[in-house]
Amino acid sequence: MTIRKPLVLGAVSMWAMANVAYAQQPQSYIRPEADPIYLLNSTTIINGLVADFVPSDIQGIEVYKLSMRTNDNTPLPWQASVGTTGVLIINSTRRVPTESLPQLGRRLKLPGPLQFAIDGHWLSAEATSKLRITPVAIAQLHIIHPTDTQSATVVDIWLKRMPKKEHPPGSIFIR
């Protein structure tokens, strides 16, 4: 009877180890239901700060979606490819503290070549070199170390979501 208990415990522990190994996957994954990416003056990701802007700070807004096409078939700017759910560029004189993506990698003391992603979507080399981010915009960092099939360290930045205000049907707003 005592011989079966170690075998059963061993089998249960092997099963449990197989079912929790998913937490260590060496792959990037796409964040479900991501918000649009908010850029300040075309280069700085400010997803966590948009609610702090007052209308007088905003000089103009540009909206891009990947599904947009121009009338003369000119390519959209590189910023349009940063987010798959859309990109809102807010032009303003307001300044916020920022750092470049390579600076973020150095601050985290990550070795070797780095590949960046935002909400699970890979960034091009052009976007990586031009984008800056404010630390307030970062909700989570997912770091995937190099493997046999992937030579670069992946830094997947999950951005803060905009606060959702839900109002019951029939709500009346009086100003």
How confident is the model at residue 18, as a pLDDT? 43
Q: What is the mean pLDDT of each run of 10 residues along the chain (175 residues)?
A: 47 42 47 78 87 87 73 63 79 90 90 87 86 91 86 88 76 79
The continuous run of DSSP H or E covering 18 comes out as: helix 4-20
Whole-Å CA distances, 117 to 37, 143, 153, 156 = 13, 10, 11, 5
How confident is the model at residue 29, as a pLDDT? 58
Q: Rounded to 5 degrees, what angle do the CA atoms 119, 124, 126 make?
A: 125
How confident is the model at residue 165, as a pLDDT? 72
- Name the pTM for this structure: 0.70
